[in-house]
Each structure stands twice: as structure tokens, then as C-alpha cells.
Amino acid sequence: MANGDTCLMENADISKIFYEIADLLEIKGENPFRVRSYRNAGLVIEGLPESVKAIVERNEKKLEEIPGIGKSIHEKIVEILKTGKCSYHQELLKEFPSGLLELLKVQGVGPKKVKLLYEELEIKSIADLENAASAGRLRGLPGMGEKTEANILKAIKGLKGSEGRFKIAVALSYAEPLVEYLKKTPDVFDVQPAGSLRRWKDTIGDIDILVTCKKGAPVMDRFVAYPEVASVVAKGETKSTVMLKSGLQADVRVLDKKAYGAALQYFTGSKTHNIAIRDRAKKMSLKISEYGVFREKDNKWLAGEKEEDVYKAVGLPLIPPELRENRGEIEAAEEGRLPALVEISDIKGDLHIHTKESDGSNTIEEMAEYAMKKGYQYIAVTEHSKAVGIAHGLDEKRLLKQMDEIDKINSQLVTRNPKFRILKGIEVDIKADGSLDLDKKVLEKLDVVVGAVHSKFNTPEEEMTKRVLKAIETGVVNIIAHPTGRLLSSREPYPINMAKVMEAAKRHKVIMELNSYPDRLDLNDIHCKLAREMGVMVVISTDSHNRLHMENMKFGVYTARRGWLEKEDVINTRSLNDLLKILQQK
């Protein structure tokens, strides 16, 4: 397929279309397997490390080699790339009011509930739902009561608070191609994202890009001509702003080489970090702005070409962007206590992975092969347990069978890669009373047991905390997965006393998971810092349901860096032998 035949569609846009097809089919009450095939396609495309457009342009037939993409999905991907739309998707959209899909953004409202709300109360939008819940009209519907109404109103309030923000994985999928596009501008020297994107915040409000170039370089002309620009808000010689088709705002600033470091420091932020740096400078009779560091008495320029020179001017080493939130990083820098932050290259394996046996799309062998290509020493296969029926969770019999299968695969791998091992695990459900979903005797046979809450998220804080504490105290759980249950922009964290949970985790040698799935990033940065301060170990896992999801490890690592974590704080930076020694302490 030629370049000119395709429109610029990012993986996030394509996956969104397949997710919407799945949701619309489920609202219609279509075959669950058909629904799942479209949802899996969205999941696969979203997690691809390479753009679908690039794959198609290189060799279209390669699409069907990707698990979860068959002939029908393949054809729709090509149609989307050619036209920017999918005719099947458009037909489904015509069957329902335009605001119906928006209802799915409300925590606790799934496709079946949308169908019920639409058919019984003619609710067609979030505004309709809010009005109905406020008026007490939902409690007459099956399975809904006063508490449901309160939870929905709370969820709508949270949703309004997150409007206009994009998950970092989505923001990156738009920012990275734009940066590469700008780098191809004649006479450009530097193109660097700044702002919350450079600090790797979990959600992003807009994209800030800083550029240095020769005088007269056509940066702004090229920027506003970018194919994904929906509208030009402002265009100038040194600053331009556009709205992308995705709804994301992008700003480009052209800088003098002399001020590049100062501007990078200033526009990376955060605001509170910059205020603290400027206050420090003032005490030293200096002024700091995006143009450089100046001596206050005569306005003489002292530094600014390099970012480290800005910090050096106020007596500090360079502070990593991820730490710039005014949470003690300036004091730590002054006292030589800045952490040696964990790196992606430190990661030796992944301890939360699903396969076809539950709700994944690859076999154990395929997941292992991909992990070995990444240079990992181990993965842990951790399917859902039987309570999570929608994910085809395993009961004791199926788990024991899978353990035998893993033993066979490991025995075959010994000759090929003696340093690699598949660990036997499970993501066991923590039930409402804190008990585990599988027999303790079977769990004790595993290499790693990952405990997780998947239901009753609206449990009061005291009860939820007791629930997780009871699971920790069983003595068989090694890891607590996605410990607050949040889904960015769609589900608030469930109420839980994290300090109490971490106290128990330390006492029972239980590890807290930082789930790298871009919708979760749970533990968040604040809780990672708390774990470090309390001496609780963290594991950075991907919760992969497809082999390509292992590439999401970077989102977890950067969140860990925001939480001040060092290599020693993260268990899966350990070698296989050292990891097993820690796991076997249980």
C-alpha cells in the first residue's frame, strides 16, 4: 500500500474503533464470542509497539500473523487506514443515539446496563443519566438501588474532573510521530517534548514541544501543515498552537540555542518545582526564566544553554524530570540524596502474564519466546482464577494441569536457554470476605501467587482494607496486584488504607505490584514513594494479555521513577536465583 493511500491513523484511534464496535455489539446483545473478538483486536492494536500503518505499508499480509487479527479484522484495519473510517462501525453507530457510548465512560456502567437504561428509561447521554440518578429514577430497575444511584453520581463527578486529559500512552502515541515529523524540518537542531509528558505523568493535558533551529527555518509552516491538525489556534514566529484531530492540544516553541536548557527546565515544570527553584535562585541574588539564569544586580546572563547548567547555577545537580514535583527532590539534591532511579534495562522479567488458557491471546510458548527475545530471565504465568468467570478463570483442576504443562515447556527450554524459566503462578481473586478463590494446598505448590481484587469496588474503606489484609495474612500470597483497582479516566481507586496494607505487606514479606498496563499504573507514584519509605518491595509487571503488551513495561518503570524507586526497591530487577530465594521465603 502506498503512502499516499493511507491517512495518518495512530494505533489508539484504530483500537478505539474496535472497542466501540465491541461495545455496540454488546449493547445489541450479540454473540459474546463476536464481541470478544473485536475487543481483543482493540487490545492487541493498542499494545503494538509499532504502528499498524507501518506494518501494512511494509507487508500487509503480516497483519494476520498478529494473534487476535484474522481476515475480517485485517480488512477493517486496511479500510480504516485508507478512509479514516470503518463502514461497519458507522452502520452500528447509526442504530443508537450519539451519546450512548459516552455512558460507558461512567464507572460501573457497562454495555448491559447501558442497554437496560436506554430501553427502560430512554437514557441517551451522561446528562440524562445524571438527571435520572439525581431524581431517584434508577432504583426501580433490576439490580439497581439507592446505593447504585449514589455511586453513579460520584462516578460522573469524577469523570467531569478528568475531562480534557489523556492517558500517557495515548498522548505518547500522538506526540512521538509529531516529534519525528518536526525533526525532518530543514535546519532544525533539537526537537524535545517538555511538560507533564517529559515528567511521565499518568495523564497529560497537552503536548509542549521545544525546538531549536537556524534562523528562518520553516518550523511553524511545517507544524501547522501536519496532517493530524484539526485547527490552528494561533501561529507565530516563536510559538504556535494547534488542536489535533484526537482533541489533544499541541504547542511548539522555537528557542535560541543559548536559552534551550533554561527553556527545557522551565517548560518541563512542574509549576511548584519551578517556583521552589526560582525562590532558591532569589536567595542567591539570581533570576531564572525560560531565557536563562541572570545575575539580579545587572541582569547579566550566566547560564541557560544546557539544562544541567541551570541547576548548577543554584548549587544543585541535574534533577531527573520525573522527580520535579516539589516532593523533597530539591532538598535531596542539595544533600546528595537523589535516588539512582530504576532503568528499563534493569528489568529481568515479568511476574504478571496471561495466556490463552484464561483471557490472553497467546500461548505460554509464545509469551516465553517474546520474553526471551527481550533478554528476560523469567516470566510468571498468572491466569485469572475461577471467580473471574468472564475471563475464563482457572479452577484447581485446570491450574494443576497448566502447572504440568509449564514443567514440560521448561524441560524443553533447558537445552535452548538454560538461564530462562517460566514460573508457575496464578492471579487469585481476593473474595469479598478476604478469603482466596482457590484451595490453599494448590496455591502452596506455585512459584508465585498474585492476589487481586476484581469485585465490589464500592466497599467502604475499613472493610476493603480488612479484605486485603486478610489475604496478605494467609501466608500464601506473594504479590498484591493493582492495589487500588483504579482505571485512569474511568474508575476511581477503591477506598483503602494503603499505609496499613503496606505495614502488613512488610511484616508478611508481601510485594506490592506496580501494574504497567497504561489504563492502571497502579501503584501510582505517591504510593511507590510510600513503599520505598516503608521498606516494602515493589514488582513492576505488565499484566500482559498479549505478548506485545510486554512493551508496556516502560510505563511502569517511568511511574516507578516518579515514585523515587531505585533498582534495589524493585524485585524483578533480581536475577532468577535471587528472585526465587525471595519468593520462597513465604
Residue range 206-248, pLDDT digits in tens: 999 999 999 999 999 999 999 999 999 999 999 999 999 888 9
pLDDT in tens, 305-352: 999 999 999 999 999 999 999 999 999 999 999 999 999 999 999 999
- What's the pLDDT at 159? 74
In this structure, which amino acid lies at residue 528? Answer: C
Question: Which segment of 75-84, 426-435, 448-457 scores lowest on mean pLDDT?
Answer: 75-84
| Gap between the Cα atoms of 178 and 249, Å rounded | 12
pLDDT digits (tens, 9 = 90+) for 491-519: 889 999 999 999 999 999 999 999 999 99
Predicted confidence at residue 585, as pLDDT, reads: 82
Mean pLDDT in residue range 556-562: 98
Q: Where are the beta strands (DSSP E) in 236-330?
A: 239-244, 249-255, 286-289, 292-295, 301-303
Q: Mean per-residue pLDDT for 50-58?
A: 84
pLDDT band of residue 88 (cuts 50, 70, 90) is: very high
Partner residues linked to 512 by β-bridges: 480, 538
Give me the mean pLDDT over the 4-15 stretch. 64
- Ranges assigned E (strand) in 236-353: 239-244, 249-255, 286-289, 292-295, 301-303, 349-353
Average pLDDT, the chain: 92
Tell whether the model's pLDDT for residue 48 goes beyond 80: no
Amino acid letter for position 171: A
**Distance between CA 289 and CA 172 in Å, rounded?**
27
CB 117 within 8 A of CB 133: no
Higher pLDDT, 253 or 67: 253
Distance (Å, rounded) from C-alpha 453 to C-alpha 158? Answer: 21
Q: How confident is the model at residue 40 (pLDDT cuts 50, 70, 90)?
A: confident
pLDDT of residue 9: 59
Within 8 A by CB and 6+ apart from 581, the residues are none
Please report which confidence band the pLDDT of residue 437 belongs to, taking 50, 70 and 90 as the band edges.
very high
Q: How far apart are CA 543 and CA 514, in angstroms?
A: 10
Structure confidence at residue 44 (pLDDT): 83
Listed in order, strand segments (DSSP E) in 386-469 are: 421-429, 448-452
What pLDDT is stored for residue 162 in this prediction? Answer: 62
Its pTM stands at 0.84
Q: Quick check: 259 pLDDT over 70? A: yes
- pLDDT in the model for residue 4: 36
Per-residue model confidence (pLDDT) at position 431: 96
Which tens digits make up the pLDDT trace of 191-208?
999 999 999 999 999 999
**What pLDDT is attached to residue 5?**
37
Report pLDDT for 573. 98
- Alpha-carbon distance 399 to 185, whole Å? 56
